[in-house]
Amino acid sequence: MDLLVPEIGLLVWNTIAFLVLVFLLGKFAWKPIMKGISDREKSIDEALNKAELARQEMARLSSQNEELMKQAREERDQILKEAKALKDGIVNEAKNQAQTEGAKLIEKARIEIENQKKAALAELKGQVSALSLDIAERVLRTQLDDKAKQQELVNNLLKDVELN
């Protein structure tokens, strides 16, 4: 069986050649290749991890931003609300003040009017009394010409006095 009996020469050459091949490939090819591949895999893993971290950081930052925006909006609303309340307060106060001031003015005016009225009335009274004195004088002057009538007048006056 020729096929199944290895030739000694071939065995020797094959052994030498294969061992040399394994040695040379191992030293000059497989070592740098496996190192290159594993280094690259490591760097890719690292890069992916870093990207993942960056993504998480970004998400964290953006959620923080969201939070800040929300806070800012709330603060703005708060400020607006306060400003509105302040404005309302001021307006109301002004209104009240205006009202009281107005009321005061009206009161003053009323008092003034009253005073003026009183003064006018007093003046009118004075004039009326002066006028009536004048009239009475004239009347008296005419009536005192007659004695009987004088008497009658005095009597009437006395009656009035008694009544009072």
Rounded Cα gap, residues 153 and 144, in angstroms: 9
Rg, C-alpha atoms of the chain: 64
- Note whether 32 binds another protein by CB under 8 A: yes
> Binding-site residue total for another protein (CB under 8 A)?
36
Q: Identify which of residues 31 and 110 has a Cβ nearer to another protein in the complex.
A: 31
Binding mask 70-109 for another protein (x = CB under 8 A): ----------------------------------------
- Note whether 146 binds another protein by CB under 8 A: no
Closest distance of CB 48 from another protein, Å: 14
Q: 117-142 in b/e burial notation, b at 16+ Cβ within 10 A? A: eeeeeeeeeeeeeeeeeeeeeeeeee
Q: Are 143 and 150 in contact (CB under 8 A)?
A: yes
Residues lying near another protein in the complex (CB under 8 A): 1-15, 17-18, 20-22, 24-26, 28-37, 39-40, 43
